[in-house]
Amino acid sequence: MDGTKDWLKQRLPEEATCDILQKEMNKREQSSGFAIGVIGWGFVGQATGLGFGSSPKNKIFWYDKFKESQNTLEEVIKNSDFIFICVPTPIFENYSGMDMSIVEGVIGEVASKITGTHKILILKSTSLPGTIKKMSKKYPGVNFVMNPEFLTQKNANKDFLNPARTVIGVENKDLGFRIQELYKTILPKDQEYIITDPTSAEVIKYMSNLILASKIILANEFYFLSQKVGANYNDVSRAVEADPRIGTFLGVPGWDGDFGFGQACFPKDMVGILGLAKDLKVDMSALEAIWKKNLKVRKHRDWEEMPQAFKKQK
């Protein structure tokens, strides 16, 4: 794409504005397909790469520090116009908060090589609110986007191609429209896109996950109450789920046969946001109570066995 700018300058009058130049670049991208890079090849990275790769127009480059990769990091950066960061953001072993060092380290490696270019650095990793704002100040010449994922670990590939909404967090709306055009190569025509600022996009991810986590704990409490009073919880949950304002996610025990919530996403997001709230002196005592109840009812803390979710002290 670096050659694209030269190609355009030869064909546009000197007085052409940056907006016109950007629109022409967008048209050229759409006609020739997209070069997409993915850094981190876990379930999020794979869903992202395979999802965009489902369009024959798109060319995918990917690299993972801990896996035999299709490309080197340098190749991903050089050949891609859209670079997705999909690396872990684990919580600390003492449950004090979330470790952002992996994300920030990768951003540092990439940012120095794309500063001042048209390339876009897109953060998929769940990141604490304020991360993009912090990185934008540190690397002012980089086009940053927050594009949170809403994948289930069991069905990540399918979820990626069937999202309820696509959230794009940008400071520059033109960047948002470029990301939207990228997604249009693989998503339905009636897909809902929400273009907002990066910090709001970061909060959207946490609020979405933690409302779902809270529903699970409330459902657990009504399950135990139903057992005590002799109610049929299957009928109770089915009737409650029929209310569109409430929706699903009320099955108890969960799909894994355990109580509360586990896996990687909900526990680490809960710990991450509670740690941030403590630092900012924001009262989130309701969420804190939800987390304490989860630790009480959950028999198997499976997230502690997942390196992408739990950072053990050495």
Q: Considering the candidates 265, 271, 273, 309, report the single residue annotated as catalytic.
A: 265
Sign of CA dihedral 187, 193, 197, 200: negative
265 is catalytic: yes
Distances 270 to 97, 213, 220, 278, 309 between C-alpha atoms, Å: 9, 8, 17, 12, 12
> What are the residues facing 91 on neighbouring strands?
98, 310
Cα–Cα distance measured from residue 44 to residue 152, given in angstroms and rounded to the nearest whole number: 9
Nearest Cα to Cα of residue 175 among 155, 191, 197:
197
Q: Which residues of 4-40 are buried (b: 16+ CB within 10 A; e: fewer)?
A: beeebeeeeeeeeeeeebbebbeeebeeeebbbbbbb
Nearest Cα to Cα of residue 153 among 300, 49, 288, 309:
309
Residue ranges of the alpha helices (H) in the chain? 2-11, 18-32, 43-53, 73-79, 101-114, 131-138, 156-161, 173-183, 198-229, 233-241, 265-280, 285-297
Q: Which residues contact 213 (CB under 8 A, 6 or more apart)?
A: 261, 266, 269, 270, 290, 294
Instruction: Kindly state the tokens that stand for 206.
Output: 């946490």
> What are the residues facing 191 on neighbouring strands?
none
Nearest Cα to Cα of residue 272 among 237, 241, 311, 238:
311
Residue 241 in 3-state DSSP? helix
Cα–Cα distance measured from residue 205 to residue 271, given in angstroms and rounded to the nearest whole number: 14
Catalogue the active-site residues.
Answer: 265
